Chains A and B, each alone.
Chain A
Amino acid sequence: MSAVAQRPEVAAPLLELRGVSKEFHVPGHRTPLSAVSDVSFSVHDGETLGLVGESGCGKSTTARVIIQAPKPTRGQILLRGVDLASLRGSALRRARRQVQMVFQDPYSSLDPRWKVRDLVAEPLRVNRIGTRAEQVKRVDELLHLVGLNPKQYGDRRPRNLSGGQAQRVGIARALALSPSLVICDEAVSSLDVSIRAQILNLLEDLRTELGLTYLFIAHDLTVVKHVSDWVGVMYLGRLSEYGRSEAIYRSPAHPYTASLLAAVSEMPEADRPEVDEIPSPFNPPSGCRYRTRCPYAQAKCAEEVPELREVAENHRVACHFPLIAH
């Protein structure tokens, strides 16, 4: 059963996930690994959804499943109402062009043998957009847009760029096809604090300038806070909380969200075990998957999977005993 996290507005979402699951069969394990399990959310034009959670929570798999690499095991992924999972071949390729991705490791996402100019031009070339001269002009524009001087950086190869510069190239490339959705998968996580601020500001500037929509995936809640209108918190493949960013940061309803927030705030958390680990995704706990780490867990949590339900306007939580009354 999926509880579609729908917002009251009538406007059709740019991207909508309905009950999306992804399972992997791993050699040596009898049960499949459930990486993403029954996730539903939507992203609206011009708004940023931040998806947070610890490593292994399924947030990156969710991103991959959205771009159909790999396809989801179950569920629908609607891009402007069209289910991507139902598309094949060239139709899929065309539809997918609207979704571009910025990756965590800029060096890994850029072919080390290519020059910056060619890397940014590649999407234009493979899609035969514009004449050669127009492509050159567009590449210069894109590089300027991300704050790189084409004359200075155009002929460099990725290894001759700093991490921040390489990430700018990755962003320029992602913007080349004027996508409607940009997925930033831990796009600033591997950068230094100072460079991270530069890239975050750049992403924000591009959003207002080009009217971009982001799905922003990160493990760092403070970073997500800066960019997001909506926030989804994932735990062990499930969406545990979803809602307007201010609401979630002001009054987290899920104990897991609360613990994540406590970890990044200056305050030490008293009732938190010093060492706790995410249970194996091969054998997730019954009922609520967070119950093994939850200080408020009760018998019901082991028996029943909590549904994502509304606790306040634009604020949904999957918890039997949410921290805020409804």
Chain B
Amino acid sequence: MADAVALEGRSAGLLRIRRPRHLTWALWIPGGVLILLVGACFIGPQIVHIPGPNVVNLSLPHVGLGTPGHLLGTDELGRDLLSRSLYGGQTSFEVGLASVAIGLAIGGLLGLVSGFMGGWVDSVIMRVLDILLAFPSLILALTVATYLGPSERNVIFAIAFFTVPSYARVARSGTLQFKEREFLLAGELSGAGRTHQIFRHVLPNIWGRLMTYGLLTIGVAMIVEASLSFLGLGIRPPQASWGAMIAEGKGYLTIAPQISLVPGAFLFVAITSLNMLGDGIRARYSGGEAW
């Protein structure tokens, strides 16, 4: 039982009581909603019989919610909105996850190296990233997406590209914090090389905070994807994505608001859950990370 011992001793100026380890509702609720949502998007269409996302039925344009066979209605071409929302969700989640994974890998590595090496390496890397960071992120993504042309893969690259600097900053500040700790000096004394120090000591210690930040930015990435698609620079029709669907419905907001509102609601639930989950995890981590 280390907790009670930790109450005294050490350089503790204030009393430290560690947070309980068990998951709290702040993690369960958004986590559960996300699992449901991801499950519905990726597995749902396989087990429940719904029309394909691109099946056009011009005889049934923009029918409302609750229509038999089209639970969430249809769009202007008579395509099933439930089906399109689920398939569109696949695209949105894919873009969110993939762009964050790529951004995290590149940015995290740059930040680690930059913080660990210091000196001119640090200066060069951080100055270049600062320049990137100075551009408004959406405009940056817009530029890249325009240059690469609209497609799911290019949207992922565009979003990953503009998130690299922020991941690098998070990784670098974590690295700097641990660089002061004597265990790195102890490692150096025992002959450990830089690669060992970075990947065996620094990375595991900042992993938690990188992951938390990553989780929080999945939501941002999904919003950017939606924005790009809304502007016609993201997912190319007829492929569905929440942002593209919202864009498609914008001309029919007065006569068939569900075309935009249904994917909008999905997006809202997904982003809110992601943010809540990220905040919950961060709150828990900030208790344990200090050790």
Within the complex, which residue of B9, B183, B187, B190 is in contact with A162, where a contact is CB–CB below 8 Å? B9
Is the C-beta of B68 less than 8 angstroms from some C-beta in chain A? no
Answer yes or no: B59 CB below 8 A from chain A CBs: no
The A146-204 residues at the B interface (CB cut-off 8 A) are 158-160, 162-163, 170, 173-174, 176-177, 190, 192
- Give the residues from 58 to 89 in chain A that come closer than 8 angstroms, CB to CB, to chain B: 67, 69
Q: Which residues of B have CB within 8 Å of A173?
A: 186, 190
Q: Which residues of A contact B6 (CB under 8 A)?
A: 159
Chain B residues in 8 Å Cβ range of A99: 189
CB-contacts of B149-201 with A (<8 A): 181-183, 185-193, 196, 201
Chain B nearest Cβ from A291, distance in angstroms: 34
Q: Are A108 and B182 in contact (CB under 8 A)?
A: yes
**A162 touching B192 by the CB < 8 A rule?**
no
- A162 proximity list for chain B (CB < 8 A): 5, 9
A43 to chain B, nearest CB (A): 17
**Is A101 a contact of B201 with CB atoms below 8 Å?**
no
Contacts of A100 in B (CB 8 A): 189-190
B10: CB under 8 A from chain A? Answer: yes
Q: Closest residue to B1 on the A side, CB-wise?
A: A160
A282 close to B (CB within 8 Å): no
Could you tell me the distance between the alpha carbons of A16 and B126 in the complex, rounded to whole angstroms?
Answer: 41
**CB of A272 within 8 Å of the partner chain:** no
Q: Which of B5, B190, B205 contacts A126 (CB 8 A)?
A: B190
**Is B2 a contact of A96 with CB atoms below 8 Å?**
no
A96 to B193: give the CA distance in the assembly, Å. 13
Residues of B within 8 A of A127 (CB): 190-191
Query: Which of B11, B186, B201, B204 makes the CB contact (< 8 A) with A103?
Result: B186
Query: Which single member of B9, B11, B191, B291 contacts A123 (CB below 8 Å)?
Result: B191
Given the interface pairs A69-B185, A108-B181, A110-B183, the reply to whether A163 lies near B10 with Cβ below 8 Å is yes
User: Are the CB atoms of B9 and A69 closer together than 8 Å?
Assistant: no
Contacts of A190 in B (CB 8 A): 11
Task: Report the minimal beta-carbon distance from B275 to chain A, rounded to whole angstroms.
Answer: 27
Q: How far is the CB of B173 from chain A (nearest CB, A)?
A: 18
Which of A96, A108, A173 is most buried by chain B, counting CB atoms within 10 A of its CB?
A108
Given A113-B205, A162-B5, A163-B10, does the pair A123, B190 have CB atoms closer than 8 Å?
yes
Q: Is the CB of B186 within 8 A of A160?
A: no
A97 contacts the other chain (Cβ, under 8 Å)? yes
Cα–Cα distance between A156 and B5 once the two chains are bound (Å): 15
Given contacts A113-B204, A159-B2, contact A103 B190 (CB under 8 A): no
A105 within 8 A of B: yes
A176 to B190, CA, bound (A): 9
Contact status of A160 and B182, CB under 8 A, knowing A97-B191, A99-B189, A111-B201 = no
Whether A163 and B9, one on each chain, are in contact in the complex, defined by CB atoms closer than 8 angstroms, is yes
Within the assembled complex, what's the spacing in Å between the Cα atoms of A308 and B232? 80
**Which of B2, B182, B186 counts the most A-chain CB atoms under 10 A from its CB?**
B186
In whole angstroms, what is the CA distance A67 to B182 when docked?
A: 13
List residues of chain A with CB within 8 A of the CB of B186: 101, 103, 109-110, 170, 173-174
Q: Which residues of B contact A158 (CB under 8 A)?
A: 291
B247: min CB distance to chain A, Å:
46
A40 to B260, CA, bound (A): 79
Closest to B182 in A: A109
Partner of A122, one of B11, B190, B193, B205: B190
Q: How far is the CA of A159 from the CA of B288 in the complex (A)?
A: 11
Distance (whole angstroms) from the CB of B260 to the closest CB of chain A = 47
The complex places the Cα of A120 from the Cα of B6 at a distance, in Å, of: 23
Chain A contacts with B in 218-267, Cβ cutoff 8 A = none
- B194 to chain A minimum Cβ distance, whole angstroms, is 11
| Cβ-based interface call for A112 (8 A) | yes
A159 vs B21: C-alpha distance when bound (angstroms): 15
Tell me if A93 is interfacial: C-beta within 8 Å of chain B. Answer: yes
Residues of chain A within 8 A of B181, CB atoms compared:
108-109
Bound-complex Cα distance A93 to B192 (A) = 9
Q: Out of A97, A111, A159, A177, which one reaches B183, CB within 8 Å?
A: A111
Give Cα A101–Cα B185 distance, bound, in whole angstroms.
9
A122 touches B2 (CB 8 A): no
The answer, yes or no, to whether A107 is at the interface (CB within 8 Å) is yes
- Nearest CB on B from A97, distance (A): 5
Task: Give Cα A107–Cα B291 distance, bound, in whole angstroms.
Answer: 8
Closest residue of chain A to B208, judged by CB? A113
Q: Give CA–CA (A68, B181) in the complex, Å.
A: 17
What are 26 A-B interface contacts by the 8 Å CB criterion? A96-B189, A101-B186, A103-B186, A105-B182, A108-B181, A108-B182, A109-B181, A109-B182, A109-B185, A109-B186, A111-B183, A111-B201, A113-B204, A123-B190, A123-B191, A126-B190, A126-B193, A127-B190, A159-B2, A159-B6, A160-B2, A162-B5, A162-B9, A163-B9, A174-B186, A177-B190
Q: 9 tightest A-B contacts by CB?
A: A123-B190, A109-B182, A126-B192, A111-B183, A103-B182, A108-B182, A113-B204, A112-B291, A160-B2
- Residues of A near any B CB (own CB < 8 A): 67, 69, 93-94, 96-97, 99-101, 103, 105, 107-113, 122-123, 126-127, 158-160, 162-163, 170, 173-174, 176-177, 190, 192
